[in-house]
Chains A and B, each alone.
Chain A
Amino acid sequence: MKRRIIDIISAASVCAGLLVSWRLIIFIFQLPAYLLPSPISVTQAVIQRFPSLLVSLGITSMAAGGGWLASIVVGIIVAIVFAQSHWIRRMFYPYTLLLQTVPIVAIAPLILMWVGTGTFAVGVITFIICLPPVIANTTQGLISTDKNLVSLFLMHNSFGSGLLPELRYRLQLLWKLQLPSAMPALFVGIRISSGIAVIGAIVGELFAGSSRVGVGGLGYAITYANAQLQTDYLFALVFFASGLGFAFFFLASFLEWYFLHNWHESALSPEED
């Protein structure tokens, strides 16, 4: 308890120090508000425009969350298919890497042409950049199951031979061994993509943020505030965006802890071990 208080105080003093030096920099260099607004005017912008901030936050959360969730579901399914044979992996895995290296800024306009503007398009962009880490990590987790445990499942396989029994055996292996074994790796993928989901959504919104003029997600509002030289509001939006990214990351970490704390080493706190 005492340690926690010290933790909070030290984190808070760094925050206070940053705010003070922020204000000092403006004072020393005599910066105008449109270049660097003061902490106070940013706070005022937050308070005054809180409703529209919340709307933007809600829209971006939906797009980022939807794309993220879809990438997890699709990523798991693709990884399961990849885990079935190394031939499938040889044929298709390189394209997963390709997906990861495609500059999202470059293909965003293309996606807009294909699926139109608005939250759905932003979700699609988020989905595309979140997908590779989920596929890569989950596939790795599925195929690196303990060989001896696979042998154990094979030895006690009671489905007999034939196509249908083979399928049932594969499903049993997947459900009772491979998927649980892959959970830690899956959560690494989920955590990595949680960080980039918000970035993806905001990049998407820079291109396609709004289906109605004036109303859009954080990325759209950022371009709008920038164009209007509302730098204090821009700052407020940036803070909200990084707060959202942090929330996603926190959610991923919490889920990881919730599902794995009973058994997986990496999820154990040091005191427990």
Chain B
Amino acid sequence: MTLPLPNIQEPQPITTPSGQVELRAVTKRYGNGSPVLEDINLSIAESEFVSIIGPSGCGKSTLLKLVAGLTRLSSGSVRVAGVEPVRARKMMSFMFQDATLLPWRTVQRNVELSTELHGVKKAERAAIAGEMLSLVGLSQVAHQFPRQLSGGMKMRVSIARALSTRPKVLLMDEPFAALDELTRDRLNEELLRLRAEGRWTGLFVTHSVAEAVFLSDRIIVLAAQPGRVTYDLPIHFSFPRNAELRLRAEFEEAVIEVSKNLRGVMERRKEGKEP
């Protein structure tokens, strides 16, 4: 007598990724036990650009640091290209709110830093840095020091440094927040152009709805205390997008739509109701 084979599939390990960046039931608590992020589920496909927006204190930056493997999660799992973030660091780059350049290094040597830390040989990394600088239009200031540059130029150097390692995933923590609006718009356009060339996956934290709409395939709206995914809004404008998009009525509508959602999240919080 043979037992019928149970009609059960091989159990799938929950760590099997379907996206380039995969967060499952991610919870992060502070040392005192109060949650920063609670039950975050998020899947980001390869070469997708996703913005994360939400009130301050919703753990946007913490989420980015979790993906970067710069902070430890309390429970759940984070996978980047199927492996733990710490093991995927080599394929990621991180951009901070300020340019975080080394003031004692020239622009060229600043761009070389990321490849230098990866152990790339001197001649090769110089070549890459030169290429990246021309890509962001800064070849002529390669031998100047950061203090001689404007805020927008410094940020461009930071972009060039981040892209020098040819990352698969680019993590950006409000990279343009400190810039004036005009510069920010210009850098947004540039970022889209660079993405079209580099085909990396983008995870972008911002406070600006318009910026998020302009850049993203998808916008994730987080609620605060604890941070959790409240809305997952696709943005349907086709690529390539250019400055002209901002003037279109549909763009305005999309910005209003997202803003409403964001406001909803914030008001519910004010009234003390659970979102």
- A residues touching B (Cβ–Cβ < 8 Å)? 146, 148-149, 151-158, 172, 176-177, 180, 183, 262-265, 268
Cβ-defined contact, B146 with A156, below 8 A: no
Contacts of B104 in A (CB 8 A): 180, 183, 262-264
With beta carbons under 8 angstroms apart, the residue of A155, A158, A263, A264 that contacts B94 is A155
Contacts of A158 in B (CB 8 A): 90, 117-119
Known: A146-B100, A149-B102. A155 touches B145 (CB 8 A): no
Closest 7 CB pairs of A and B: A156-B117, A263-B103, A148-B96, A148-B100, A263-B104, A158-B118, A180-B104
- Cβ of B70 under 8 Å from chain A: yes
Number of A-B contacts (CB under 8 A): 56
- Mask for B99-138, Cβ within 8 A of A = 1, else 0? 0101110000000011001110000000000000000000
Cβ-defined contact, A262 with B145, below 8 A: yes
Residue of A nearest to B114 (CB): A156
For the residues of A in contact with B, the DSSP-based class is: helix
Distance of A154 Cα from B96 Cα, bound (Å):
14
Q: How far is the CB of B115 from chain A (nearest CB, A)?
A: 8
Distance of A268 Cα from B70 Cα, bound (Å):
35
Distance of A264 Cα from B97 Cα, bound (Å):
21
Q: How far is the CB of B175 from chain A (nearest CB, A)?
A: 11
Contacts of B70 in A (CB 8 A): 151, 154-155
- Cβ of B186 under 8 Å from chain A: no
Cβ-defined contact, B118 with A156, below 8 A: yes
Residue of B nearest to A146 (CB): B100
Cβ-defined contact, B100 with A156, below 8 A: no
- B residues touching A (Cβ–Cβ < 8 Å)? 65, 68-70, 89-90, 92-94, 96-98, 100, 102-104, 113-114, 117-119, 145-147, 165
Known contacts A156-B113, A177-B102, then 4 further A-B pairs from the complex at CB < 8 Å, ordered by chain A residue: A152-B114, A180-B104, A264-B104, A268-B147
Contacts of A268 in B (CB 8 A): 147
Q: How far is the CB of A242 from chain B (nearest CB, A)?
A: 34
Distance of A262 Cα from B104 Cα, bound (Å):
7
Cβ-defined contact, B117 with A153, below 8 A: yes
Residue of A nearest to B100 (CB): A148
Contacts of B117 in A (CB 8 A): 153, 156-158, 172
Contacts of A146 in B (CB 8 A): 100
Cβ-defined contact, B165 with A152, below 8 A: no
Cβ-defined contact, B100 with A149, below 8 A: yes
Contacts of A152 in B (CB 8 A): 94, 96, 100, 113-114
Contacts of B113 in A (CB 8 A): 152, 156, 176
Residue of B nearest to A154 (CB): B70
Cβ-defined contact, A155 with B93, below 8 A: yes
Contacts of B89 in A (CB 8 A): 155-157
Pick 8 A–B contacts, CB within 8 A, sort by A.
A151-B65, A152-B114, A155-B94, A156-B118, A157-B89, A158-B119, A263-B104, A265-B147
Q: How far is the CB of B169 from chain A (nearest CB, A)?
A: 11
Q: How far is the CB of B105 from chain A (nearest CB, A)?
A: 8
Contacts of B146 in A (CB 8 A): 263
Contacts of B97 in A (CB 8 A): 148
Distance of A172 Cα from B119 Cα, bound (Å):
11
Distance of A34 Cα from B119 Cα, bound (Å):
72
Q: How far is the CB of A268 from chain B (nearest CB, A)?
A: 8
